[in-house]
Amino acid sequence: MLRVALFGCGRIGRVHAAAVAAHPRAELAWVCDPMEAAAKELAGQYEAEASSDVAAVLADESVGAVIVASPTPTHVDLLTAAVKAGKAVMCEKPIDLDLARVDACWAEIGALSPTVMVGFNRRFDPSFREIRDRVAAGEIGRLEQLVITSRDPAPAPKAYIETSGGLFRDMTIHDFDMARFLLGEVVEVQAMGANLIEPYIAEAGDIDSAVVVLRSADGALAQITNSRRCVFGYDQRVEAFGATGMLTAQNQLPTSVRYAGPDRSEAAAPYQNFFLERYSAAYALELDHFLTAVESGTAPSPSFADGRAALVLADAAAESLRTGTAVRIAG
């Protein structure tokens, strides 16, 4: 049993706590959060210890791994401290909003050959992973076009938007990683954005709608479409088009039941509501991959470098939006 410490007990922290508790090879040892009452409440659900003291948790030699699920501004400090304490780390995305801080973090920990995984859980979604495996196997020939659609069911609250780092670094970063997962390295980014949904998003200097076009190193094109609002649910689709065929992953429904009547046909239940439901299997598979990497001493994926690369694309998209021009990615 690998004993795991969890930093952060908000919404995503609770997802990870449940995943660790349910895994047969893991034990939730600690929940650490500055809000000690919240840490105690979550820890109590899983018979774990609770603390607000990061150093005390990292001093527990029985803990072999930590999950960093705290607010983004705390990621670098917690990740660095955990690596220096000899722990394997799974860190939620993004590593940081500032590329310079990400690079400084690696400069400090890289020589320690750390086991660090970044939480791009969508790589572990069974449908998306199957598309990647079948593309890699050559089933549709050369991959020529990729379409990624990602729309949230409703805008995040004003307070969240104001500290999120912007749509590209907060939301599209998942899609940038998925594009790299399916395409390989990206060499050019062009973005357009708009404010069509909530005035408070524009007031925060952010956008709520975006279309981003990417060019891969081998010439394939990708289009990412994002919106902070989708009235029919959590819209998550991928289409891979190749020289000899196409693979698609459609939205998931609670059941496969459809209705046909005099007023409508093919009516079905709404899409799964949000990421907690849509990606529940992906979170479990992500954790299993991380545990296997720790147990076997192999490098997990997505890596720290993958986390950095996705942030580079997010920064490039922000620059493209600002300048109205395509941005080349330095090799």
pLDDT of residue 112: 97
**Up-side HSE of residue 280: CA atoms within 13 Å toward CB?**
10
pLDDT band at 109 (very low <50, low <70, confident <90, very high): very high
Parallel/antiparallel/unpaired status of strands 143-151 and 221-227: parallel
Measured CA to CA, the distance from residue 66 to residue 235 in angstroms comes to 31
Measured CA to CA, the distance from residue 238 to residue 133 in angstroms comes to 14
114, 115, 120, 125: CA torsion to nearest 10: 160
Entry pTM: 0.95
User: Minimal CA–CA distance to 130: which of 277, 8, 271, 282?
Assistant: 282
User: Minimal CA–CA distance to 36: which of 19, 54, 51, 53?
Assistant: 51
Q: Residue 157's CB: how many other CB atoms inside 10 A? A: 10
Measured CA to CA, the distance from residue 18 to residue 229 in angstroms comes to 28
Residue with tokens 């062009």: 190
Please say whether the beta carbons of 163 and 201 come within 8 A: no
When the pLDDT of each residue in the chain is averaged and rounded to a whole number, the result is 96
Could you tell me the two tokens for 197?
A: 């949904």
Please say whether the beta carbons of 48 and 30 come within 8 A: yes
pLDDT of residue 259: 86
User: Which element (helix H / strand E) includes 116?
Assistant: strand 116-119
User: Which element (helix H / strand E) includes 26?
Assistant: strand 26-32
- pLDDT tens readout for residues 230-287: 998 899 999 999 999 999 999 888 887 888 999 888 887 778 777 778 888 999 999 9
pLDDT of residue 101: 98
CA 54 vs CA 47, 69, 254: distances in Å? 19, 13, 40
pLDDT of residue 271: 81
What value does the mean pLDDT take over residues 79-92? 98
Burial class (CB within 10 angstroms; exposed 0-12, middle 13-18, buried 19+) of 70: buried
- pLDDT tens readout for residues 177-206: 999 999 999 999 999 999 999 999 999 999
User: Which element (helix H / strand E) includes 21?
Assistant: helix 11-22
